[in-house]
Chains A and B, each alone.
Chain A
Amino acid sequence: MNHVSANGDVSQIVVRAAHLEKKIGEKEVLRDISLELGSHAALAVLGPNGAGKTTLLRILSGVWGPSSGELWRFNQLVKTEGRTDPRVGYLGHQSFLYPTLTAMENLTFYARLWGLPSPTVRAREMLQQVGLMWSQSDRVKTYSRGMLQRAAIARVLLPDPQLLLLDEPYTGLDVEAQLFLDRTLMAYREAGGSIVLITHNVHEALRISDAVTVLVRGKLVWWAPTKGWTPERLTSCYQQWLRGGNGHP
């Protein structure tokens, strides 16, 4: 079992996956996925397109259930058909925001959906935190990619989750938006949150996470703590896996 924890703290396991498999139709998308993520820890998942990264995140979030294997979150076994948890925040490829509603309306809607007290106040707080108060009354469909991502982050942080699942969150962001996301994730980790980050970028992986793993054809083929790794060395190692180098399954 591959384990990642901050400062060697193994007392609190946020996510524990044991031999997870996922079949969609006849296709085996995930094979024998086992991992553990402690509280305050961050794991980066690298992998080529179609490796099953998004499927892994959808299963960890509870949107989908695994075909076999066990998934534990916060020491609770997740049912086989999948079950979401208010302590888990999932940022997907899309924002999950209604384009024809304003950012304020979207966040208030989600705050109500999550049953949060004072939804409007909470929505305003989150918009302030992500720096979108100035455009709170604009429809989301008028937002740029960076603004949309900020609004999506506000949505994810709305219920104050303890685990963030991020699917390529830096894609399409300009430098300023990337710095904003960096600051947000660092602050989130300092506040005690755990992160699973999907990325193609080794710099992002090293900056954010405590450990990095490589997913190829539905299987975790390599795992290492990020401490002591340089971007160049990690890139070279990652490329070896992509090319099907030594030890390739």
Chain B
Amino acid sequence: MWVAMTAFVVMVVFLFAFALDTNRVRLASVFPGILWMSFLLAGMIGMSRTYAHEIPEDTLTGLVLAPGDRMAIFLAKLTSAFLFMAVMELLTTPLFFVFFSEPWNGEWILLGMTLALGGLGIVELATLLSAVSVNLKSAEMVFMLLLFPLEIPVLITTVEATTAILSNPVGNPWLWLHGLLAYDAIFLALPLLLYEYLWEV
């Protein structure tokens, strides 16, 4: 999964690096937007299949039959999705800096935090929607239709936080990071409330 996601992001990096005319476009202003849009699309590619391979032989029921809390299945899916996302972000973020000639201000911790919280926000919702839509006829369409609008807060907060971190002098990203934290907390709590009911959808 992470290979496909990484390959997609690398393709986006190359495409934009060559397509944008640096004489006419100020790269610093579009850099965060391109970075997070490509991460979101890569996340969609990977996460839409989170539950799909449980369908052919109904292995999800096999997992449910095992002892323990059903929430563990969701949390395991979420954890693996987050790890895939994190690996992809770690591999491709340096490429963005190289190909876009983006100067680095040295705020590693803040950027790392934004990448982690943004990645978590993307996979939390994507994993939940993948679970909700798994038994539906038009699963992928429902997944895509719901994911885009619901991920808008993640896109806004991550892009604004990244812009603040990369600006010179460094701006204050905390307002946006707090918003991102709240979003992550909400979409971690929501499946805990809903998950028991999702099995019968």
Contact = CB atoms under 8 A, between A and B. Distances in A.
B57 interface: yes
B199 interface: yes
Given A24-B200, A64-B200, A81-B196, A114 B58 contact: no
Given A24-B200, A81-B196, A84-B67, A63 B62 contact: no
A221 B52 CA distance: 38
Interface residues of A, number: 24
A145 to B, nearest CB: 12
A155 B58 CA distance: 14
A61 interface: yes
Interface string A139-154: 0100000000000000
Given A24-B200, A64-B199, A81-B196, A113 B57 contact: no
Contacts of B200: 24, 64
Contact of A99 (B56, B61, B65, B196): B56
A96 B59 CA distance: 4
Given A63-B199, A64-B199, A94 B58 contact: yes
Interface residues of B, number: 15
B57 A63 contact: no
A96 B62 contact: yes
Interface in B5-45: none
Contact of A94 (B57, B63, B196): B57
Nearest to A112: B66
Interface in B54-106: 56-59, 61-67
Interface in A180-195: none
A110 interface: yes
B111 to A, nearest CB: 37
A93 interface: yes
Contacts of B66: 84, 110, 113-114
Interface string A183-220: 00000000000000000000000000000000000000
Contacts of B59: 96-98
Contacts of A244: none
Contacts of A110: 62, 66
A84 B65 CA distance: 5
A63 B63 CA distance: 10
Contact of B65 (A81, A90, A93, A115): A90
A97 B62 CA distance: 8
A245 interface: no
B59 to A, nearest CB: 5
A15 B90 CA distance: 53
A92 interface: yes
A96 B56 contact: no
B117 to A, nearest CB: 31
A86 interface: yes
Nearest to B64: A63
Contacts of A100: 53
Nearest to B66: A113
Contacts of A63: 61, 64-65, 199
A227 B56 CA distance: 39
Contacts of B63: 113
User: Lowest 7 CB-CB distances: which A-B pairs, in order?
Assistant: A96-B62, A94-B58, A113-B66, A94-B57, A84-B65, A81-B196, A95-B57
Interface of B: 53, 56-59, 61-67, 196, 199-200
13 contacts: A63-B64, A64-B199, A84-B64, A86-B67, A93-B58, A94-B56, A94-B58, A96-B58, A97-B59, A98-B59, A99-B57, A110-B62, A114-B66
Given A63-B64, A84-B66, 7 more contacts: A24-B200, A63-B199, A96-B57, A97-B57, A99-B56, A115-B67, A155-B62
